[in-house]
Amino acid sequence: MALRPVVLGVLCALAVVGCEDRRKQAIERIGSDEAILKKANGAVNEVIRNAADCEAAKPLLKEAYERIDEARSQVTLNASRQTLEALKVQVDRVAQVCP
Protein backbone atom coordinates (compact mmCIF):
# COMPACT_ATOMS: atom_id res chain seq x y z
CA MET A 1 0.00 0.00 0.00
CA ALA A 2 2.89 2.41 0.64
CA LEU A 3 3.92 1.99 -2.98
CA ARG A 4 0.70 3.54 -4.30
CA PRO A 5 1.46 7.16 -3.12
CA VAL A 6 4.99 6.90 -4.53
CA VAL A 7 3.70 5.76 -7.93
CA LEU A 8 1.08 8.51 -7.90
CA GLY A 9 3.77 11.09 -7.08
CA VAL A 10 5.99 9.89 -9.90
CA LEU A 11 3.09 10.01 -12.37
CA CYS A 12 2.22 13.55 -11.29
CA ALA A 13 5.83 14.63 -11.70
CA LEU A 14 5.98 13.14 -15.19
CA ALA A 15 2.76 14.91 -16.14
CA VAL A 16 4.17 18.27 -15.02
CA VAL A 17 7.42 17.70 -16.90
CA GLY A 18 5.45 16.67 -19.99
CA CYS A 19 3.42 19.88 -19.91
CA GLU A 20 6.52 22.01 -19.48
CA ASP A 21 8.18 20.21 -22.38
CA ARG A 22 5.19 20.92 -24.66
CA ARG A 23 5.23 24.58 -23.70
CA LYS A 24 8.95 24.78 -24.33
CA GLN A 25 8.53 23.16 -27.75
CA ALA A 26 5.71 25.56 -28.64
CA ILE A 27 7.83 28.55 -27.65
CA GLU A 28 10.72 27.23 -29.72
CA ARG A 29 8.45 26.78 -32.75
CA ILE A 30 7.15 30.32 -32.37
CA GLY A 31 10.71 31.66 -32.16
CA SER A 32 11.77 29.67 -35.20
CA ASP A 33 8.80 30.81 -37.27
CA GLU A 34 9.38 34.40 -36.19
CA ALA A 35 12.94 34.34 -37.50
CA ILE A 36 11.80 32.84 -40.81
CA LEU A 37 9.01 35.41 -41.18
CA LYS A 38 11.42 38.28 -40.53
CA LYS A 39 13.39 37.39 -43.65
CA ALA A 40 10.30 37.21 -45.84
CA ASN A 41 8.86 40.35 -44.28
CA GLY A 42 12.07 42.25 -44.97
CA ALA A 43 11.93 41.42 -48.66
CA VAL A 44 8.24 42.33 -48.87
CA ASN A 45 8.86 45.63 -47.10
CA GLU A 46 11.48 46.54 -49.71
CA VAL A 47 8.93 45.90 -52.45
CA ILE A 48 6.33 48.04 -50.70
CA ARG A 49 8.80 50.88 -50.06
CA ASN A 50 9.62 50.98 -53.76
CA ALA A 51 6.06 50.46 -55.05
CA ALA A 52 5.88 54.01 -56.41
CA ASP A 53 9.00 53.38 -58.53
CA CYS A 54 8.30 50.36 -60.71
CA GLU A 55 11.84 50.28 -62.07
CA ALA A 56 13.14 49.76 -58.54
CA ALA A 57 10.29 47.48 -57.44
CA LYS A 58 10.38 44.97 -60.31
CA PRO A 59 13.69 43.29 -59.41
CA LEU A 60 12.63 43.15 -55.76
CA LEU A 61 9.46 41.22 -56.60
CA LYS A 62 11.37 38.09 -57.55
CA GLU A 63 13.30 38.06 -54.28
CA ALA A 64 10.16 38.64 -52.23
CA TYR A 65 8.35 35.76 -53.93
CA GLU A 66 11.37 33.51 -53.41
CA ARG A 67 11.58 34.36 -49.72
CA ILE A 68 7.86 33.72 -49.27
CA ASP A 69 8.09 30.34 -51.04
CA GLU A 70 11.17 29.42 -49.03
CA ALA A 71 9.45 30.36 -45.78
CA ARG A 72 6.35 28.29 -46.64
CA SER A 73 8.39 25.12 -46.53
CA GLN A 74 9.99 26.05 -43.21
CA VAL A 75 7.25 27.46 -40.99
CA THR A 76 5.33 25.12 -38.71
CA LEU A 77 2.43 27.16 -37.34
CA ASN A 78 -0.85 27.96 -39.10
CA ALA A 79 -0.62 31.59 -38.03
CA SER A 80 2.74 31.82 -39.76
CA ARG A 81 1.28 30.38 -42.96
CA GLN A 82 -1.52 32.95 -42.84
CA THR A 83 1.01 35.72 -42.36
CA LEU A 84 2.90 34.51 -45.43
CA GLU A 85 -0.32 34.55 -47.46
CA ALA A 86 -0.95 38.15 -46.37
CA LEU A 87 2.60 39.08 -47.39
CA LYS A 88 2.11 37.43 -50.77
CA VAL A 89 -1.09 39.43 -51.34
CA GLN A 90 0.87 42.63 -50.74
CA VAL A 91 3.55 41.60 -53.23
CA ASP A 92 0.87 40.57 -55.74
CA ARG A 93 -0.66 44.06 -55.54
CA VAL A 94 2.65 45.70 -56.39
CA ALA A 95 3.21 43.16 -59.18
CA GLN A 96 -0.15 44.13 -60.70
CA VAL A 97 0.71 47.82 -60.59
CA CYS A 98 4.18 47.19 -62.02
CA PRO A 99 3.72 44.52 -64.71
Amino acid at residue number 81: R
Measured CA to CA, the distance from residue 69 to residue 88 in angstroms comes to: 9
pLDDT for 26 equals 67
pLDDT for 13 equals 54
What does the DSSP assignment read for 13-67? HHHHHHHHHHHHHHHHHHHHHHHHHHHHHHHHHHHHHTTT-HHHHHHHHHHHHHH
Measured CA to CA, the distance from residue 32 to residue 48 in angstroms comes to: 25
Measured CA to CA, the distance from residue 28 to residue 17 in angstroms comes to: 16
The three-state secondary structure class of 75 is coil
pLDDT for 30 equals 74
- Which residues of the chain, if any, have pLDDT below 70? 1-21, 24, 26-27
DSSP 77: S
pLDDT for 16 equals 54
